[in-house]
Structure 1
Amino acid sequence: MERRFTSRIVCLDWIENSESEKSKISSSIQEKYEHLRLQYEADLRKNWVEQLESPNQVLEQLSLAACLIELWKSMCKTESENESQPIVPNFVDIACGNGILVYVLRMEGYEGSGYDASRRKSWSTFPPWIQSCLHEKVIIPKPFLDMLGPLEIDIGIESGLFPENTFIISDHADELTVWTPILAALANPCSPLPFMVVPCCSRSLAGSYFRYPPGGAGQGYGDSNPGLHGHSCNGISQPCSGDLRALRAAKMNEKTENGFLSSMAGSLAVKTASIAEEIDFGVEKAWLRTPGAVNMALIGGRDENSNRLKSGEPVTDEELTAARLKIMEVVERECLQDGGIQAAAQLWIDRLETLRHANQTQHQPY
């Protein structure tokens, strides 16, 4: 039986903001969510073709679309009082999956595209002009591409260095989660790209299964088989004894704020934020409440002063070089647990080939 989602209000509550600002933001997101449901939910459910995902993913993606639209409104100003559409950066969804988020945002008038390692059945249900914005490509981070040299691979490759004024959406992007603030900074160390991260499965920079310790500091423990430690990719610490009652309790607890913070996804969120802050990229944390879950969203670039180099003063070549070196020092350090950056790059490619083979089997088109 399909799980019935709760009637939880959809909102994005900035953890460090005042209650009045939280209330204002939550109210506008809820209104936008209701509008999007009326506009798109029925048709999306009617045309649902994915076999490995529940149709309730429609509500989750509509929730995220509402949050992003209102977030962009809070970040950007209109050119004139008569203009109804705010000036927003182009977006890129680096793990677009079924493509619903890209579809809704494009239908609402926002420019952008989505990438995924495998074309999904859902893509063919969208208008041709939407399908042209969904790309079957893989992202191999630029530092890895530099180490690997020319690659013979049967799919398009993106380096993750997106153009200026691109907003990066990293929703359940797994191995790209911790990479997101790094890619945003590498694209332009003087003015990093804005982003939103919604964490899920925990991975190291090499893409290996890896659980970061609570608090995001130091080394966690990684393993090619997450089941060895009783973990799952959904962020819930699972008991190894087979106690179903304890597992159900853990799943319910994970839907609370305190439960999330002690989960695998919570530790991943804290680690990602700490990486961003280490490379001088300020990040805001917000509780993302959707019909199906409570998660933490990490938002970079909403504040124009979120990076220390974005002060309006000219940036010297020395400052630019120092910023890039700091970013690469973080990358090299984080790759040590997988044998160094060269080994991590090769692990990324090996895992990519395995993932591609699995996805081609699971997401066969009609």
Structure 2
Amino acid sequence: MAQQKFPFNPIPWSTTDDQAPEALKSDNVTWAPLIRCPAVFPVQLFETAISQLVHHPEYNSTLILRSEMVSESIDESQISPIVPTIQGFTARWSIRRRLLPRRPGRDAALEQHCTLYGHTNTESSEEMSPSILVLTPIVDLGSSLPYYHPRVSHLAFRYVVSSVPMLQIEVVPLPETPVDLNSRLYRTCLALLETLHRYGWGAMIHYKKRVIHDCIVPREPYQDLYLVMRERHKHLVNEWHEVTDPLKHVFEDIGIATFLMLLWNDIYASHEAETELSPVTSEGEPWRNWSRPPAGFVDMGCGNGLLTHILVSEGYGGHGLDLRARTSWAHYPETTQSHLHVEALDPTVLEDLEASHRYLKPGVFLIGNHADELTPWIPVLSTLCSASGYLSIPCCSWTFDMRYERSKCTPYPVPTPYDEFVDGLNLGGDGSNTSAYSMYRIWLASLSHHCGWKVESETLRIPSTRNWALVGRVQTWKDDEDAQTSRENVKAIIDNVKGRGIFKTRTPEGKASEH
């Protein structure tokens, strides 16, 4: 039976509360306790709990992008003199981190000391464990703190060991900073205390995060490039010509384009084949010299064409295909319009794509971004045309010629024990993997392996509930015989679809020659 989560019961500080722990004491500053709550985990887990606060401040503020460690001090003599001394405690470890804002044009970065303290006299096992974390912003004389940082010179997270263990937050507020229950500082400390309570409880029950980001593309380069790309293309929100939500679609496709640019640079760094470039030119943009797919990309079911437009605008060669032109297409520049095409694919008659299709050439990279009926065909087509890779972000659940039904669609054989294979897919949710969408993703992943692709998955940093992606960038075959087996598997799939006689290619809506 799952352990019951202890509720969070905050207690505002009161000078008349006889049960309240004494405030911290320092020679050069005066501490003001603000709020406390019962601790639901032992002091031995305090360091584990606060490590999340130190390394992931963005979890508690939407205004912070991430933190970067500048330096580390593990000896008391190396710790900065601006870090406060606390009576009865010794500073054991300190890092200097840099907080990076999510919007650099509005907020400045800030460096900060994060210092861990333990009891000076350690007579018991409890006292040996660190029990205080102090955050100290580093601000030049005459400068002010950025908005995302509370107005304090020090902020302490404290574990008080007693008959009823307590978590407490104490601060050294800047002059004229309100600390009442309605103040911004109090509300911030309330949120921080709840976060520490949650992290400590998670550490005690050995909580394992189910959704893991940045498995394929590292977080730091992604976030840095995304900020640049967002500034370059955010104007598209105000130029939106569809009835759909521009905020969701614009920033979602900026995120996908950012991921692809970094992924391609990693995949093709060793490829010296000349790539298909769009006519757009620019200077001072490092990605213009990055590696890219040898035969460009094809965005299958490109819809409004926004992802194709962003990639083409940044110098990447490729094409977007869809059954009909959207309103947006006519409003893109000519350099984009020439890369958008009305076309309906019939994969059942394209068994030799290398010779029969003008866009699906060897070395192409296929994109299936919420491609609906085309989703299961992405790995199949990638094998048929000797693609250099693909990215599939499934949304609606389709098989090759009908809606997906888990009772009728069993996964293809996988190379490892089934449970291990599923665990490696990073499906999220409650971990049961019994929902229809989870089962569909498992089926897609097994299909990818069946088509000869090493299965890799990523939970993308995009504003969509359908942000799980399947990436094919490495074939599983080791020799020509393995390659032939994968191609035979693909052709068997196509023969099976033909035999059922259900599949029908939808008719293009519009004249392909116009686009």
TM range (shorter): 0.5 to 0.7
Unaligned runs of 5+ in 2: 1-60, 67-211, 273-285, 413-426, 511-515
Q: Larger C-alpha radius of gyration, 1 or 2? A: 2
Choose from 250, 263, 268 the match for 1:76: 268
1:59 matched residue in structure 2: 251
Distance 1:159 1:76, change over 3 A: closer
1:257 matched residue in structure 2: 428
The letter of the residue matching 2:225 is K
1:230 matched residue in structure 2: none
2:501 matched residue in structure 1: 343
- Aligned-partner Cα distance in 1 for 2:476–2:363: 15
Q: Deviations over 1:286-342 (max 9, x none)?
A: 1123123352211111x4xx3314x5xxx4xx7765543222223344x3xxxx536
- Aligned-partner Cα distance in 2 for 1:341–1:77: 42
Alpha carbons 2:321, 2:340 under 8 Å: kept: yes
Distance 1:282 1:34, change over 3 A: same
Alignment of 1:67-146 (within 5 A): 67-77=259-269, 85-89=289-293, 90-141=296-347, 143-144=348-349
Alpha carbons 2:368, 2:378 under 8 Å: kept: yes
SS in 2 for 1:330: helix
Q: CA deviation at 1:267?
A: 2.5
Choose from 392, 396, 403 the match for 1:209: 403
The letter of the residue matching 2:312 is R
- Aligned-partner Cα distance in 1 for 2:234–2:500: 45
1:328 counterpart = 2:499: no
Q: Deviations over 1:112-141 (max 9, x none)?
A: 110011101111121111100000111111
- Aligned-partner Cα distance in 1 for 2:445–2:359: 19
Larger helix percent: 1
Choose from 173, 183, 195 the match for 2:390: 195
Alpha carbons 1:78, 1:85 under 8 Å: kept: no
1:296 matched residue in structure 2: 468
- Aligned-partner Cα distance in 1 for 2:256–2:242: 19
Q: CA deviation at 1:31?
A: 1.4
1:235 matched residue in structure 2: none
* CA RMSD, Structure 1 to Structure 2 (Å): 3.6
The letter of the residue matching 1:210 is Y
The letter of the residue matching 1:27 is E
Unaligned runs of 5+ in 1: 1-5, 12-18, 147-157, 219-255, 361-366
Distance 1:116 1:294, change over 3 A: closer
Q: CA deviation at 1:7?
A: 5.4
Alpha carbons 2:255, 2:462 under 8 Å: kept: yes
1:39 counterpart = 2:211: no
> What is the aligned residue count?
272
Choose from 439, 443, 446 the match for 1:267: 439
- Aligned-partner Cα distance in 1 for 2:264–2:255: 14
Alpha carbons 1:25, 1:70 under 8 Å: kept: no
Alpha carbons 1:10, 1:291 under 8 Å: kept: no
- Aligned-partner Cα distance in 2 for 1:282–1:51: 38
The letter of the residue matching 1:99 is G
- Aligned-partner Cα distance in 2 for 1:308–1:85: 31
Distance 1:8 1:174, change over 3 A: farther
Distance 1:70 1:167, change over 3 A: same
Relative contact order, higher structure (CA 8 A, sep 6+): 1
Q: Tell me the TM-score normalized by structure 1.
A: 0.64
Alpha carbons 1:8, 1:290 under 8 Å: kept: no
- Aligned-partner Cα distance in 1 for 2:460–2:65: 8
2:458 matched residue in structure 1: 286
Distance 1:68 1:187, change over 3 A: same
Q: CA deviation at 1:269?
A: 2.1
Q: Deviations over 1:207-241 (max 9, x none)?
A: x22233599527xxxxxxxxxxxxxxxxxxxxxxx
